[in-house]
Every structure is written in C-alpha cells, then in structure tokens.
Structure 1
Amino acid sequence: MSIFSLFPFVEVSDFNNNITLCLKEYYTDDIPNDNYEELKRFLTDLVEEKVNPKLLNMDYKGNEYRIKSKSRQDARILGIINENNEPNITLLSTYSEAKNKETFVKNLLENQGYFKIVIFCLDLLRNVTKKERRNQIEELGRIIIRNSRGNNLMVESVAKERSYYLLLWLEKNGTINEEWIPCDNFFIKREKIMSSNLSNSLTQLMNEYLKSKEESVGVTPQMGYLVRNDIPMQIYNLDFIASNQYIVTGSVGVGRWASVPWIAIMNRIITTSTKKGYYIVYLFSEDMKSVYLTIGLGVEKTQREEIIRIKEEIRSTIPQYSKFLIDDLINLGTGTKAKEYAFSTAAYIKYDHGQFPNEIELINDLKDMIKIYENYIKIKTGASPISYDSGGRTKKSKDLVREKIEYLSYNNLISHIFTFIKGKGFFYGEDEINNLFLSLKTKPFVIISGISGTGKTKIVQWFAESVGATE
C-alpha cells in the first residue's frame, strides 16, 4: 500500500486510522480542447489585447467563436484565464516577457495534476510502441476523467481526441519527444539545485521596503515588480503549486505604500480575492523585522463573528504536533491593517529578519501549510474526511458541516452551498442555488424540470451533502 500511495494518480485518505486508496478523478476541462498552435495564437492575441476573453460571444460568431472559446478554456488549464474569464496578470505578463515561451508553458504544465500523471505513465511505457502509448493514455482518461458538464466518465471518442491534443502539447513544448517518450526520466533520483530563490527574495523585500516607502509608489517600480511578479512566479514554479488551481498575487498598496505588504496563495475554488474567503498569505510586519507564513481570512467582506468561527474550524484540523502556531499572538504592528490581518489569522509560523531558514526548510513549511489548507477545504466540501494519527483535533467532516450551518446567515449559507458544489466540479450559477434554496425554504416539495443531462439529480445530491445530509 505504501508503494501505491506514492503514485501521482492515487489519492490517500486517512480517517479513524483507516487508510484508503482511490484513483484521483479529473474533468474534461482539465485537458486540452484543441491543438497547441491555437492556444499560442490566443495567448498572443491576449498579450496584444486583440481579444477580450469576457466578450467572446459578442465579438465572434459561428466557427470562429467555437475556436476562440476552446482556446480560452485551454488558457484556463495554464491558469492564465480564471473561471470569470479574467486574465491572471502575473502569468500573462511573465509569458509575454519569456524568451522561450515553450519552456514557460512546459514549467506550468508539469505542475498540473493530470499532465503530471500522463508524464509518469509515459515513462512507465518507454518499452512499448508509440501507438500503444497513445492507446494506454486514452484508456487512462476513460478511467479517471469525468465529463465537466455531467457525471459520466469520458467516452471513447472524446478520450481519443483530447488525449491526442494533450500528447501534442507535451511534444510541442519539449516535455516528450516525437515518439512520446519523456525527455527526462521520471524515476531517476538525482540531487538537483533548488530552482526557487524564495528566501532571498523575501529577505530582499524586508531589507529594501522601508527605504522604498520614502519615495512615491511609482518612483521605485522594482519593489512592486518584486512583490507582484517575481515572488509570485517563484511560487508558481514550485512543483506543488498548480497555476490552474491556485492564484498567487502580492501587493505593496494601490496609490500609496501598504503598511503591511503581502503575498497570497488562493485556491480558486474557495476565493479569487483576498477580500473574502480564506487563503495562505505571507504577511510582513510594519517594521519589516519579521514575516509570517499564515492561513488568514479576507477581512473586508467577512463579518467578525464569521472570522472567529472559521478560525476555530481551521485550528481544529491542525494536529497538536504541528510546528504552526494557532494562538492570537501574531504581532504585525499597531496600524489598523496590521491589527485586522493579525485578527484574521488562523495559523502561522514566524520568520525573523536575519534568522531565515534555508530554502529547503522554507519551501517545506509552505508545502506543509498547503496540506493543512487543502485538508480543511476537503472537510468543508465533504470531498475527503481527514484525521491525524497523533493528537489530531479534527472532527468528522459531516459534524463540522452541521455545526457550521447552524450559525450561518441565509446569504452565507447559500455561499457555502455554492462553494461546496463548485468544489465537486459542477458549475451551477449562484442564482440557481439561490432559487433552489428559497424554493425549499418556501415549500419543501420542489419539482426541477429540464432536459436530460443538465444536472437536475446532481444539484439536489450535492445540495443535500453540502448541509450534512449524507445518510
């Protein structure tokens, strides 16, 4: 079992000391819709502002719209376009400036879940024919990829087309050769230099930020670039940060310098804005003598009572042996923002200036914080109940959900249901969830009409599970 748990297509769940293994599942939106050249053309148009991803249905018609919409979805795989059809400025600008754009795309794809699995499997298939490799990748897709617009597994015709596009993508950017064999051996264990330089970049920010604040924001653009582009791209390049799963963004303030600069890492399912939801964030103290790696909550659009409740929920999932602190002693300074950010912090670890850990330890801390973050997301969405072997604090996921909904306002409850269903890979409009909720509150007998395959059964199933009705 320990060997199988290392495979990238296997998901491990640990509940009440019972370890279970299952195949990870992905959706058709996670794999290419079209060939690589169409994606490149779309990205070029995006860089040159020749295309507005939010207005494709207005600017294009017929076959041209079909091609552009496929390319837009493929740009989402890279994380360059989000689910609201908005560009990720950090990734787009870095792509625009990249001397070798194929290498840039390659680095992004190698961190994406299903692409990583395909590369792994192709390495296992080095000794078979090219045709057999393609057949095996098609078969893999039919086993673990579901239709993004329904719940059925990917059918054979779609598997053939999408798998072929995926293999061509990997060939075009140099991940695999013309025979579809990986250019790098997945199984060769070798020491490699840590490609990130996060420790030095964070130290540079602490050393230079106060000096930069003596000038207006526009006078020292390199500081803004460091926080908004350089550090986020270093985080994106880590092998456990997939650009289509996370948004990484930083801020030194808008119009004037922030008293507490920050770099946030947000799971797209939970939030795409630091004003709401919960996320991982590096917070710098006002005096730049320390930086904290934290899990925090957006303070602008989250009520104080809600912050307190979610903080306690997150803390209850962190094992007692963890190095992360779960008290309220974080000290960012005396300013309003410093106090607000400190209040919204659920867990943290402090790094003092001049006593930074080495790069490997710093990255491992971030990886551990990501695990805690993702575990809590699983508990909230009901995807996988989590517990810890030694001194964990975690309750069963359905108990957490039932406790949670007792204290939510109707607006927050609808938002929770919407997020839960979205986390399952199903995309209903928030207005549809709102209508179903209000209909059920008005009369518990509701008839949902529509043609076959539009998700009538699933919306009811996930709605029920989102409020803890699993039995």
Structure 2
Amino acid sequence: MSLGYALRRIVEEYPLARADPPAGHPLAAVIRRGAPDELRRALQGIDGPFLVKGSPGRGTHWAAVPWLAAFDPAVTTSATQGYYLVYLFPADREAVHLSLAQGSVAAIREHGPRAGAHLRASGDALRERLADFADRLPVRAIRLGSAGELPEGYEAAHILGLSYDLAALGDEQRLRADLAAGVAAYRALRARGGLALPEPGPLRPGRAAGGPPGR
C-alpha cells in the first residue's frame, strides 16, 4: 500500500462503509492503522518528529468527516486544539483535502456560536503570516459537504492547503512533495508565532479611528 492508495480507499469506500457498524470494519482499520502507517512512511526523511493518527469516528458511530493527521508534539497531540496538518474527506464527492488547520473544538468551547467567525478571521491573519506558501498551498477555503458543528468547524479552521480528486491520488511523487510543502508551512507557522496574533496597537496621538493622520 502507498499513501495515495490509502487515501483513495478512504475516499471510495467510506460512503458505503457507513451503512455498517464501524466496529471490526476493514475500512475503520485502514483509517486507524493502515493509512497512518503510510503517512508515517511518507514523513520519513522530513524533519520530525510527528505523531500520526487517523479517526473514522468514535464508538459505534462513523464520523461525518474522517481524518488522517500529523501533529507536531511541541504544538499539539490532538485535533481539538493548536494547529496541525490533516487530510479531510468530504462527504459529498470523491476528493480529499490536505489542510493546515486550527483546532476547531477548542475554538468552539471558547467562543461558542462565534467560533466560526473567530476561526475564519484567525485564518485570514495566519495566511498573511504564511504568504510565501500561497503558490505551493493555494487552497484558501474547503468544503466538506456535511452540516454539523464539527464539519463546519473544520471548514472554518482551514488555513491553507491543497485539494485532490481521485486521479491526482495516483501520483505518489506529487503527494509526497505536497506533504513536504505542508510540513514546511507547519514549521514556518510555529517559527513565526503559531496562532498568537498581535493585539491592535494604540491609536497615534491626533488620529481618530478611520480618520486621517494628525498633523
């Protein structure tokens, strides 16, 4: 198996797999073990370390959006907080997104119904911080095709990344090059201050908000 093959299996098989319980399902095993193993292999030789996890859901319920993620343990070990690199699988079409993402659950807990607006505003600022990656990771917004707090949170939490259709998943060399670009952006974000954004500075004397400079 390769990373592209593992991603393709999830894309193609997930809609039908959800008709059966996840316990003991072969695709749940691919998402929890097989795909993470392939992602670890693809990350070999790229500056680490990384904690790699895949989630098809919890307990007896499949996730609306399954994911496969790489975490820098110095930043976070969980998809709930911090920021991380993740493959997300839309519910409504045969595609997968590679996303440098913010932890949406922490934002939901802190900001409640304003979490989406907070994450999008933060994402806009973080894209400016990573402007030198705009050509390599040009996708600024993703759609996951599923209503609900978590899928909508994942959409809002996206910073930058790439999207693939099924045909693109056959190009293993491209997938690994894109993964390396994603890791480089992840490292750059950490070096440039992470999610911390500067507070608006005080107004200069003689200048009202939105007004012309004082003389």
For the pair 1:254 / 2:69, whether they are aligned, the reply is no
Q: TM-score, normalised by structure 2?
A: 0.79
Where does residue 324 of structure 1 map in the other structure? Answer: 137
Alpha-carbon contact 1:285-1:338 (below 8 Å) kept: no
Q: Does 1:348 align with 2:152?
A: no
1:364 alignment partner, one of 172, 177, 198: 177
TM-fit CA distance, 1:252: 0.5
Please give the per-residue CA displacement for 1:408-433, whole angstroms capped at 9, x wherever unaligned.
xxxxxxxxxxxxxxxxxxxxxxxxxx
Paired position in structure 2 for 1:301: 106
Q: Which runs of 5+ in 2 are unaligned?
A: 201-215
Residue 376 (structure 1) aligns with: 189
Partner Cα distance (1:225, 1:242) in 2: 27
Deviation >4 Å, runs of 4+: none
1:234 and 2:38 equivalent? yes
- The structure with the larger Rg is 1
Q: Distance in 1 between matches of 2:145 and 2:186?
A: 25
Specify the alignment match of 1:266 in structure 2.
71
User: Distance in 1 between the 2:34 and 2:133 partners?
Assistant: 34
Q: Relative to 1, partners in 2 of residues 1:279 and 1:320: Cα closer, same or farther, differing over 3 Å?
A: closer
In 2, Cα distance between equivalents of 1:380 and 1:333: 32
Is the 2:139–2:162 Cα contact (8 Å) retained in structure 1? Answer: no
**Shift, 1:248, TM fit:** 0.7
**Equivalent pairs: percent with the same residue?**
24
Task: Tell whether 2:47 aligns with 1:204.
Answer: no
Partner of 2:210: none
Query: Which residue does the alignment assign to 1:278?
Result: 83
Which amino acid counterpart does residue 100 of structure 2 have in structure 1?
A: I
Q: What is the aligned partner in structure 2 of residue 33 from structure 1?
A: none
> Structure 1 259/347 Cα, relative in aligned 2: closer, same or farther at 3 Å?
same
Alignment of 1:46-445 (within 5 A): 197-220=2-25, 222-238=26-42, 239-241=44-46, 245-255=49-59, 256-302=61-107, 303=111, 304=115, 306-316=118-128, 317-319=130-132, 322-328=135-141, 330-336=142-148, 337-380=150-193, 404-406=197-199
Is this contact kept in 1: 2:89–2:97, CA < 8 A?
A: yes
User: Equivalents in 2 of 1:235, 1:306: separation in Å?
Assistant: 30
Q: Give the Å deviation of 1:355.
A: 3.9
- Structure 1 residue 204: Cα displacement: 1.1
Kept in 2: contact 1:210–1:288 (CA 8 A): no
Structure 1 residues not aligned, in runs of 5+? 1-195, 382-399, 408-471
Taking the aligned partners of 1:199 and 1:234, their CA distance within structure 2 comes to 9
The answer as to whether partners of 1:276 and 1:297 remain within 8 angstroms in 2 is yes
* Structure 2 residue identity aligned to 1:348: G
CA contact (8 A) 1:236 1:242 kept: no
The structure with the greater share of residues assigned to strand is 2
Q: How well do the aligned residues superpose, as a CA RMSD in angstroms? A: 2.3
Question: How many residues are paired up?
Answer: 189
Partner Cα separation in structure 1 for residue 160 and residue 9 of structure 2: 25
Displacement after TM superposition at 1:352 (Å): 1.1
Shift of 1:367: 0.4
Change (3 A) 1:283 1:225: same
Answer yes or no: is the 8 Å Cα contact 1:235–1:241 preserved in 2: no
Contact 1:207-1:288 within 8 A present in 2 as well: no
Amino acid at match of 1:360: Q
Distance 2:54 2:133 in 1: 30
Using the size of structure 1 for normalisation, the TM-score is 0.38
- Check 1:326–1:211 CA distance in 2 against 1; reply closer, same or farther (3 A cut): closer
Residue by residue over 1:409-464, the C-alpha shift from the partner in whole angstroms, topping out at 9 and shown as x without a partner, is xxxxxxxxxxxxxxxxxxxxxxxxxxxxxxxxxxxxxxxxxxxxxxxxxxxxxxxx
